[in-house]
Amino acid sequence: MGQDARTPSRTPALSLVIAGGGTGGHLYPGIAVARELLRQVPDARVSFAGTARGLEARVVPHEGFDLDLIRSAGLKGKSIAARLRGAALLVPSMFDAWRVLSRRRPSVVVGVGGYSSGPLVLLAALRGVPTMVLEQNAAPGLTNRLLARVVRSAAVSYDSTLAHFRGRGFVSGNPVRAEFFPGADARPRTGTPSRVLVLGGSQGARAINTVLPDAAALVTRDQPATTFVHQTGARDLDAARAAYASAGVPAVVEAFFDPVSAEVHAADLVVCRAGATTLAELAAAARPAVLIPFPAATDDHQRHNAQVLVDAGAAVMIEERHLDAGRLAATIVALLADAGALASMARAMAAFARPDAATRIVHHIRELAA
């Protein structure tokens, strides 16, 4: 049952709708904000709005919140046919957004990114409802760039992003779910054997999922006790399991880990993309990483994200165009063999943690609602 159903029937002090999602990078900061708001204002009402296809369809009900569906699709970076389908959904998406606003009567609407946030945040702004967007990356995505013209506030992770929001932004850091922080002590895990966690992202990462089994075979040839734990996303699960079996590596391979925070804390080293939310979670848990940026990310923002951590000594980067099993295996072996390097990387990663990000954002939400 959703969170709305558990709240008192009287009119609450604050009603929040969080719009958007599609990927974990967009959705999970919204989850962190929702939890923090309810911690501060227990009688607040919080619901989410997104698509039936996005990660939110699975995660939001599991988290105990209501989800209203918006019929929408992306317009950028798609085939002509996909763009036409997206354009055809513009009117239905506005109708759905109107229905959500009329039903929920929110005090504030927060967009977390992703194309489904656009109609609801835009319509809320036109109806005079206070609005905010969360922007995790240095280079805002298309939806947030368009919404920058109408929102009252924007929570960003980088000083350089403020220029996109015309004096209405503030630097909050990227909100991370609280479970990534407990036990984060800026030291690598000291268990035996070594444990490598591979995160393909909420939608999976085909290049990472494809190369890891062969790389793992090379690593375990040099360090037989090393354990690999791999989150593939649903699309590549069967193929990855078969590849690990063929390579003779007894890895733990799942589409998703719930909670993934437990796997992050248990890892000595993480291999993953360089999305802003993933990096914020690694910083919270103080875990060193090998980063493989998604090359098609908007304005190459993942490579820029990764470079910041590389420059700080918190991570190693391998660009996808240079990715192969031998290079990745050599990098993993070298890091696992150097406990001092892992400890130094963990301390550097921890320096990027912003445990007060959700608190800062909720403070601004409450100001907007006042």
Per-residue pLDDT of the chain (370 residues; tens, 9 = 90+): 455 544 444 555 799 999 998 888 899 999 999 999 999 999 999 999 999 988 899 999 999 999 999 987 655 555 565 555 655 556 788 989 999 999 999 999 999 988 889 999 999 999 999 999 999 887 788 889 999 999 999 999 888 889 999 899 999 999 998 899 965 444 455 556 899 999 986 655 899 999 999 999 999 999 999 999 999 988 899 999 999 999 999 999 999 898 899 999 999 999 999 999 999 999 999 999 999 999 988 778 899 889 989 999 999 999 999 999 999 999 999 999 999 999 999 999 999 999 999 999 999 999 999 8
For the chain, state the CA radius of gyration.
21
| Structure confidence at residue 78 (pLDDT) | 56
Phi, psi of 135 (to 5 degrees): -125, 110
C-alpha closest to that of 17 among 123, 147, 149: 123
| Structure confidence at residue 184 (pLDDT) | 43
Amino acid of residue 90: L
CATH 3.40.50.300 fits 195-350, yes or no: no
Residue 324 burial (CB count, 10 A): 11
Domains 3-175+355-369 and 195-350 belong to one CATH topology: yes
| Structure confidence at residue 25 (pLDDT) | 86
> What is the domain partition of the chain in residue ranges?
3-175+355-369, 195-350
Q: Which CATH superfamily is domain 3-175+355-369 in?
A: Glycogen Phosphorylase B; (3.40.50.2000)
Residue 155 β-bridge partners = 134, 170
| Joined tokens for residue 126 | 């036109």
Q: Is the pTM of this model over 0.75?
A: yes
Q: Given the DSSP bridges, would you call strands 131-135 and 153-156 parallel, antiparallel or unpaired?
A: parallel
Query: How far is Cα 79 from Cα 320, in angstroms, rounded to an integer?
Result: 23
* Residue 246, SS3 per DSSP: helix
Q: How far is CA 49 from the centre of its chain?
A: 17
| Joined tokens for residue 286 | 């103080």
Rounded to the nearest 10 degrees, the angle between the axes of helix 276-285 and helix 24-40 is 60
Amino acid of residue 272: C
C-alpha closest to that of 117 among 139, 97, 138: 97
Query: How far is Cα 117 from Cα 21, in angstroms, rounded to an integer?
Result: 7
Phi, psi of 91 (to 5 degrees): -65, -50
**Are the CB atoms for 175 and 358 separated by under 8 Å?**
yes
| Structure confidence at residue 259 (pLDDT) | 87
Query: How far is Cα 239 from Cα 164, in angstroms, rounded to an integer?
Result: 41
C-alpha closest to that of 127 among 155, 149, 108, 148: 108
* Residue 320, SS3 per DSSP: helix
Residue 192 burial (CB count, 10 A): 9
Instruction: Spell out a b/e string for 265-284, using b for 16 or more CB atoms within 10 Å of the CB, else e.
Output: bbbbbbbbbbbbbbbbbbbb
| Structure confidence at residue 160 (pLDDT) | 82
| Joined tokens for residue 56 | 């939110």
